[in-house]
A and B are shown apart, each in its own frame.
Chain A
Amino acid sequence: QVQLVQSGAEVKRPGASVKVSCKASGFTFTDYGFGWVRQAPGQGLEYMGWISAYSGNRNSAQKFQGRVTMTTDTSTNTAYLELRSLRSGDTAVYYCARLRLLAAPNWFDPWGQGTLVTVSS
């Protein structure tokens, strides 16, 4: 079945980097894009960016530009999100979600189970 499985929880010090993985199965990886969305404790959903597994084209929200890198590995059907210069406000659950590669912007489905990243000294 179509599934996205993310890597496990992480605890990082302020200033460090974190890399979250999202392994896809049940569909042709390069037919889709992958978005990243985070949710701080008790807060709503926040769009971070997305990457096309077909072309490598990517878009990131202005708030994260310069601090985030999104990549894909077509040999392992895995998407990655790296966030650098972590601060306490980056403590959140990070989700990956599949995007269809259409001419028009579309929707996120399905979602991974989420990865809790805790930033604490």
Chain B
Amino acid sequence: QSVLTQPPSVSGAPGQRVTISCTGSSSNIGAGFDVHWYQQLPGAAPKLLIYGNTNRPSGVPDRFSGSKSGSSASLAISGLQAEDEADYYCQSYDSSLSGYVFGSGTTVTVL
């Protein structure tokens, strides 16, 4: 069981907006630790998508955005495209475990 909880799957039609939640607790996200997001395309290594809750690395389209509130965070994908079909993971740090933690992962399907 992952420390950070994500919905197993979300789906949307091309052009729509989807959001992925990442729910933690008072020892990780709620403690103020930043949340980061990764995209994993089929058969590939994860790739950094959002860092420091809201920041996009160079080259990541502005269709991707992140937010954080309390013990939860969210990743939004607007203008959904076929190439966005992938698994998405959130990541933070947990003070009780004294280590990094990942979300359970969410599969995005473009209908």
Contact = CB atoms under 8 A, between A and B. Distances in A.
Interface of A: 35, 37, 44-47, 49-50, 59-62, 95, 97, 104-114
Given A59-B98, A107-B91, A45 B45 contact: no
B46 A35 contact: no
A49 B2 CA distance: 16
A44 B45 contact: no
Where chain A touches its partner, the secondary structure class is strand
A111 B57 CA distance: 14
Contacts of B103: 44
Contact of A105 (B48, B93, B102): B93
Where chain B touches its partner, the secondary structure class is strand
B9 to A, nearest CB: 13
Most chain-B Cβ atoms within 10 A of its Cβ — which of A49, A95, A104, A113? A104
Given A47-B101, A61-B97, A109 B45 contact: no
26 contacts: A35-B100, A37-B46, A44-B2, A44-B89, A44-B102, A44-B104, A45-B38, A45-B102, A46-B102, A47-B100, A59-B99, A61-B97, A105-B33, A105-B100, A106-B34, A106-B36, A106-B52, A107-B34, A107-B51, A107-B91, A108-B46, A108-B100, A109-B48, A110-B48, A112-B45, A113-B45
